[in-house]
């Protein structure tokens, strides 16, 4: 549990560096307030690779790296995280604008690395 909290803190910190998303302290969020989206990452795909979420609603992506280390980066939103092999990484944010935002792997993971991507669609 301690490891998960540490990782969450890192991800929130990393997510906040680019701005564009409203940050919030993990401890201040009541249980059940967030929409949880389960994802997996493996060579060379995310599943699901298209996520639709609602503007203004807190979301946490719980991403499990199945086979090796990968990355998760949403350049337009200033979000990035390391996905460690065999672990769940939580990426929390509150989408504050609508649109389609590409995410991609930014940790080299083999010959299909360049194609490892997906999109987040934020709707009203
Ligand atoms: Cu997965 Cu690069």
Ligand 1: residue whose CA is nearest its atom 1: 70
Higher pLDDT residue, 14 or 87?
87
Structure tokens at 96: 């504050």
Does residue 8 or residue 49 have the better pLDDT?
49
Q: What share of the chain is helix, strand, coil (3-state, %, to 5)?
A: 20, 40, 40
Domains of the chain: 4-123 (2.60.40.420)
**Which atom of ligand 1 sits closest to the CA of residue 110?**
2
Q: 43 C-alpha vs ligand 1 centroid, how far in Å?
A: 6
> Strand, coil or helix: what is 10?
helix
Residues 69/109, Cβ–Cβ less than 8 Å: yes
End-to-end distance of the chain based on CA atoms, in angstroms?
Answer: 34
> SS3 of 38, please?
strand
pLDDT given at position 107 = 98
pTM of the model: 0.74
pLDDT interval class at 81 (50, 70, 90):
very high
Q: Are 89 and 81 in contact (CB under 8 A)?
A: yes
The pLDDT score that the predictor gives to residue 32 is: 55
Q: How many angstroms does the Cα of residue 106 sit away from the middle of ligand 1? A: 6
């Amino acid at each position: 549990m301690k490891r998960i909290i540490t990782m969450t803190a890192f991800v929130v910190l990393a997510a906040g560096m680019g701005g564009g998303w409203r940050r919030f302290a993990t401890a201040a969020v009541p249980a059940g307030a967030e929409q949880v989206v389960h994802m997996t990452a493996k060579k060379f795909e995310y599943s699901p690779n298209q996520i639709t979420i609602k503007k203004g609603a807190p979301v946490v992506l719980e991403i499990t790296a199945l086979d090796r280390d990968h990355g998760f980066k949403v350049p337009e939103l200033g979000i990035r995280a390391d996905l460690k092999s065999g672990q769940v990484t939580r990426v929390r944010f509150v989408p504050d604008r609508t649109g389609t935002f590409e995410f991609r792997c930014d940790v080299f993971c083999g010959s299909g690395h360049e194609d490892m991507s997906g999109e987040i669609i934020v709707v009203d």
